[in-house]
Chain A
Amino acid sequence: MTGQPLPEPAASPTATDAGVPSTSRPPRPRWRETLGLLLRNPTAAGSALVLLGIVLMAIFDESIAPSGANQISVEDRLQAPSWEHPFGTDDLGRDILSRVILGAGVSLRVGFLAVGIALLIGTVIGLLAGYYGRWVDDVLMRFMDMLFAFPAVLLAIAILAVRGPGSGNTALAIGIVYVPIFARVTRASVLGVREEVYVRASRSVGASDLRLLTRHVLPNAAPPIIVQTSISLAFAVLAEAALSFLGLGTQPPNPSWGLMLAEGRGYIDLAWWLAFFPGMAIFLTVLCFNLLGDGLRDVLDPRQRTLMAGGGR
């Protein structure tokens, strides 16, 4: 196991501490070790599997869905779940299962896009603020505080009000709302890492700030950011649902889980399946992202990692 230091060949008096057993196996890259540990955690592995299924479903939605998203069939309206329509039909006779499958793409696309925007901008801001400190930190983080001070949904509504509704703008709005979260998480992590001796050591051999930031600070500050990403994906899917529910996100008749939830609300006591299945889809996705985030946090914590690596064999 790579977790333990190699024993020192101190037995012979002439031995230096330099000899390393020559049974040299190719070192396993860190990410593979991380992935291996992650998959040993049944909860995280299960979540990853379910998420993989959802993503595959979103990619191949057209070929999986039994019927089109907007295939109206008036005589089949408000049908309870049956063999023909496993998730039932809505008030226009559209197949709910098909709409949940086709809505996955919309929900996930908005989620990934939003988190992508937040990750990119927030990480750069946090990196600069944490590394340079002083006035750079003051200016950037006060700006982030301003963004933070707005209630998230209100800010998203304001952005959508200016740019108009639609899934692209929804992703942008959610992304902007999440920027300060990533900036904060990154900054906090960078504050710790930048004081590390190995950063000073690299500076002492002449490494530039850019090199220090990209080769040393960011990789070592990454674990909390990765965890935040997985958690934010869950929240972004929820936020998309909320904004679509309010009529600002995805526009009908396009399917999106949040929008379907909103549309199903009016029929909740008449036909529960309208809201139930998209609701379950959101629930499952968010739950899996959260559990995966928890698993990642454990695996990326060096102390936990040593415990897991040691106890696992």
Chain B
Amino acid sequence: MSDDVLVSARGLEVHFPIGRGGLRRKPAGLLRAVDGVDLDVLRGETLGLVGESGCGKSTLGNALLRLVPSTGGSITFDGTDITGLEGRGLKELRRRAGMVFQDPFASLDPRRTVAQTVAEPLEVHGLRKGRDKAARVAELLELVGLDPAVAGRYPHEFSGGQRQRVGIARALAGEPDFLVCDEAIASLDVSVQAQVLNLLRRLQRRLGLTLLFISHDLSAVRHISDRIAVMYLGRIVEIGPASAVGSDPQMPYTQALLSAVPLPHPALERQRERIVLRGDVPSPAAVPSGCRFRTRCPYVFEPCDDVDPALQPAGAPGQQAACHLHGVVGTPATADAEGLTAHP
């Protein structure tokens, strides 16, 4: 593994048992929220993670921070395997990797003041005490663009954007290297979204943060990211430089996703060709065999039924797509699918 990878996942799986109940508590099925993800987040980059609701992007973000237990694969943080980390090591990971949550109305304890909330990481990790702590809280509030005088106020006295700033200040208090923003702007007003987005970008540059920006909003992701990863049904189906993925996607799903983004210019907007996908996302409890996108793909052909496509180079340098249109590479679902040859 190279030095410039900060966080990396190999074959990461998060499966949830479903239909658990009764005395025996035997799972009736398995929900594959994250199903074999390989991902490298480079030091200092902003990686955008997009996908529709329920594709597992939030679960992936949580699993990378060990906030959701993974059921398979491994996670590495700064060269250390953190898959089974416990105790002291896990606590240190919590300091070095933070999270900004989606709903700023739910993510702040209503019974604690802004200062108490922002100071929590400082107290937990014993970083600052007494006067130093108050000074650091003021510094953090200023860093996210809040007046330090509001430290004694309660969350319900703030607007959504202000609360999200408090959430960001809390996530930054432990001086983390890595920040996961889980739909961090999704529940904000559009005018405030841009402000928070720019704040995140500014902080990322200033503090040298590595950012995983999870969103279903492709335009926001394109705006902030260096690279973009596209997720579908628990798997990364395309990844590459933001400019490449955002303008010349190599995977039919990304193409459809991109075609759904409205264009600001009316003339262009009228000309915009939309790829409308048929059907719904299959349930993550019943993932299709072969390519998991084949039930909705407009280009579906023979190998898609049997061979689970792996990421392979496609399009621009550094761009990868999991699609047989670029050559059949992947794991055959059954033994008799071995005879398949590469598609030209």
Residues of A whose CB lies within 8 Å of any CB of B are: 2-3, 5-8, 10, 16-20, 22, 24, 26-27, 30, 196-198, 200-208, 211, 215-216, 219-220, 302
Contacts and interface: CB of A to CB of B under 8 A. Distances in A.
A2 to B, nearest CB: 6
A27 B154 contact: yes
A206 B109 contact: no
B159 A8 contact: yes
A30 B152 CA distance: 12
B107 interface: yes
Contact of B101 (A18, A201, A220): A201
Given A6-B157, A22-B147, A201-B107, A207 B124 contact: yes
B145 A198 contact: no
B69 to A, nearest CB: 13
B91 interface: yes
Contact of A6 (B98, B109, B110, B159): B159
Contacts of B124: 205-208, 211
A204 B162 contact: no
Given A17-B162, A201-B170, A205-B173, A220 B109 contact: yes
Interface in B114-165: 120-121, 124-125, 144-147, 149-150, 152-154, 156-159, 161-162, 165
Contacts of A30: 111, 154
A205 B150 contact: no
21 contacts: A2-B156, A5-B159, A6-B157, A6-B159, A17-B162, A20-B146, A20-B153, A20-B162, A26-B152, A197-B102, A197-B103, A198-B106, A198-B109, A201-B99, A201-B107, A202-B109, A204-B65, A204-B99, A205-B124, A205-B171, A302-B110
Contact of B67 (A7, A17, A22, A200): A200
Given A2-B157, A20-B146, A20-B162, A205 B120 contact: yes
A263 B154 CA distance: 55
Given A19-B147, A197-B103, A6 B121 contact: no
Contacts of B106: 196-198
A17 B192 CA distance: 7
Interface centre among A27, A206, A219, A220 (most CB of B within 10 A): A206
A302 B112 CA distance: 15
A204 B67 CA distance: 7
A17 B113 contact: no
Nearest to B147: A20
Nearest to B97: A204
A205 B171 CA distance: 7
Given A27-B154, A206-B95, A18 B145 contact: yes
Contacts of B310: none
B180 to A, nearest CB: 9
